[in-house]
A and B are shown apart, each in its own frame.
Chain A
């Protein structure tokens, strides 16, 4: 580690787009931590005030500032891993610290050590294992995103091209950008990251917006507990994502793109990096794509452990090297996104859905859904079920059919007590409300939402107050600290659900919890603080006796 080589690394990044995360990650990987000396050099060369840089680095959970920090094991303490004993595993590993859900709920318990993910239960050996392939569906169920994913050659460009890869781009060039946007719009595809904004409309807004260069950002910061679908797509079908991004760029006139990948997926980073390299080699990225004058450069950036960076405006701030607080909206990213210029921000599943939609047509995709609902949704299903995994189901599919028929239901003699929706953000559904179909209108009618499609199942042996506490503790840990209702509210709700503070009189306890929730829902600055109280309100709705017992003992 000498001055010159540090400076060479920094100078190499200086002229790259979105340099800060890249240069920080390179030093973090090289040294195993971020030293004060390195941070001061980066600040000086990239012309960032050193205090600002320091504050920004401390925002991220995974950046270590002590030697050896990178290699210290980080044990997932997501809701599902806790049910499998992650607290015990944590205690048994020297120097280990907990980390929020790292997206292996179908294969607990993940432990991140340096750049590798190990998996194992307490008492067993930790093993390096690839992420799980989606379970095979019955013949009568047609998939969109997952249709070719089980082909082992699919992750290479050659294999991707053998199964229709980049045919969609050729079709799109025939259609022209307006035709492509119309096709996507007609398909009814909407944001699969949870917000559900119609993809065609978003693309049109960026295409129509003034200001250049335009940018396509893939939100691969899959931080929602209980969600692990994007990891699966990227691990086994990375070229579908790359092609989806090229299509988005072609539609909107964007010339640059970023994949913002969460820190917890180091293996995925290597897979994506190699896919991007292959795509450049075969001229699907770069200049003169497919012999046209269309040009698009794609960059990969890795986050550093912050759930809020899955919120698109936080993500953009993070990418720009700023403190990752969410931005005030409007204006929206379609006009004022990356570097204040028009930007598409789409989730991995949304982008990976586009190539098959373009190949098979808008009507084909529409018809995959049930009833009024068009298309499919990948559900990451985990918890107390026989076959956890990613299931691509038609929108409008029955929740209980998914749990009972496809995933094998709970273990023998057990029954479903509750499920979470939208990972944790949708709170719980239980009792009669489990009789619901998987689509936004039906789930919203029950006071929840489908969101990114993470569903965690809790059987009748689980202590739901404890589950709710752990969920709220997660939100408190991830609250960015910008707005008062979320920063203080998530903390106060966790304390009340843990029983460490708050009234012991039931009515007063309920008044406080309900008031906190209402103010958080109606005044928080972003979705985190708005959604977090769904945990407490749904707990009160479905499990009033457990709550009463918790408060009064």
Chain B
């Protein structure tokens, strides 16, 4: 069957049934502005920045929630669309304390600022009461809660529910009095929060910020971004490690990571201090005659381990040994481990810590 098509800014474009107008436009390289959109979440339709003109429709429609239909004629910019986008941004700017936040705040933290500049929305119009209420005294080491800069897009609430399944935070009250809160307005630590940091990374204003990265904001040097894999478990989440000089200053989730698509847990997101920690092991250690651990070469260490294991088998039989593979090891390493235990040591006593 021939693919259905629609006309987007004058070009005829094929699409798959079920795709939204926004998705078709994005695939075609058209940059429609958004604030409440995160491609990993259900379309919400709150910010109205992604409005487009659809021929035959009196008012513009939100492209994120509008399904592409065969024969649709869509215009994504110009005319009243730009006027509305500017007014919407002027409104949002008017309710917030500040636009310019440190990029270390989080992955999406510059979205509002960039759009405000793109649409020239720092006009100072629509001044009035500010929305939100900062909760900076929440005593947790990871998540800054500066709701003076919240624009009520609810991406944090939605990522927590839809992506993480934690439902730690919610929308309380309504209208201009809306705010983000935990159950009964308590601390994050007393809520269902797992401190995965996903709310920080999807926040488009820096209202939610990465406290650990922000604490490094005075570290001198250019910020370097290095794509790597999180070392904590076998899932293999892609991360971008941020460093200045020799110091790791933060971690950003990789939205294009094939295993995680931007998701991380508290360890991958925040637990990178071991990298530069003074207690970190840099060589193997062998216990000497008086029970003290001493640095050794890998060759000595492996020989020592082989001797110890062989001795145990000789003295107590092969089933006297039991091996646990680390959950931090990927499948391939776990496979080699069980091969070593079964074929090398001759026992089936092998398990993985993830099961324990």
Residues of A within 8 A of B (CB): 36, 49-56, 58-59, 306, 308, 323, 328, 330, 476-485, 487-492, 495, 500-502, 512, 515-516, 518-519, 521-525, 530
Contact = CB atoms under 8 A, between A and B. Distances in A.
Contacts of B168: 51
B269 interface: no
B127 A502 contact: yes
A519 B84 contact: yes
A480 B175 contact: yes
B62 A525 contact: yes
A129 B223 CA distance: 72
Main secondary structure of the interface of A (DSSP, over half): helix
B167 A488 contact: no
A488 B183 contact: no
Contacts of B103: none
Interface stretch (B89-97, B137-145, B328-336): B89-97
A55 B172 contact: yes
Given A484-B48, A522-B84, A512 B126 contact: yes
A49 B193 CA distance: 12
A488 to B, nearest CB: 4
B191 interface: yes
Closest 5 CB pairs of A and B: A55-B170, A49-B167, A479-B175, A481-B178, A501-B128
Contacts of B175: 476-481, 487, 490-491
A54 B183 contact: yes
Nearest to A477: B175
Interface residues of B, number: 50
Contacts of A58: 172-173
A80 to B, nearest CB: 23
Interface stretch (B39-47, B300-308, B337-345): B39-47
B314 interface: no
Contacts of A515: 83, 87, 125
Q: Which of A500, A512, A530 has the most chain B CB within a 10 Å cutoff?
A: A512
B133 to A, nearest CB: 14
A491 B178 contact: no
B174 A516 contact: no
Interface of B: 35, 43-49, 51, 59-60, 62, 65, 67, 80, 83-84, 87-88, 91-92, 94-95, 125-129, 131, 151-152, 161, 167-178, 181-184, 191-192
19 contacts: A49-B161, A49-B170, A50-B183, A51-B168, A51-B183, A52-B170, A476-B176, A478-B175, A481-B177, A482-B45, A484-B88, A487-B178, A488-B94, A491-B128, A501-B129, A512-B126, A516-B91, A519-B91, A530-B59
Given A49-B167, A491-B176, A516-B126, A328 B45 contact: yes
Contacts of A522: 59-60, 80, 84
Nearest to A483: B46
A288 B167 CA distance: 44
A52 B167 contact: yes
A349 to B, nearest CB: 27
Given A484-B47, A515-B125, A525-B62, 11 more contacts: A50-B183, A483-B46, A484-B49, A487-B178, A488-B92, A488-B126, A501-B128, A502-B128, A518-B87, A524-B48, A525-B46
Nearest to B47: A484
A368 to B, nearest CB: 31
Q: Which of A489, A490, A523, A524 has the most chain B CB within a 10 Å cutoff?
A: A523
Nearest to B167: A49
A479 B48 contact: no
A509 B191 CA distance: 45
A481 B176 contact: yes
Nearest to A54: B183
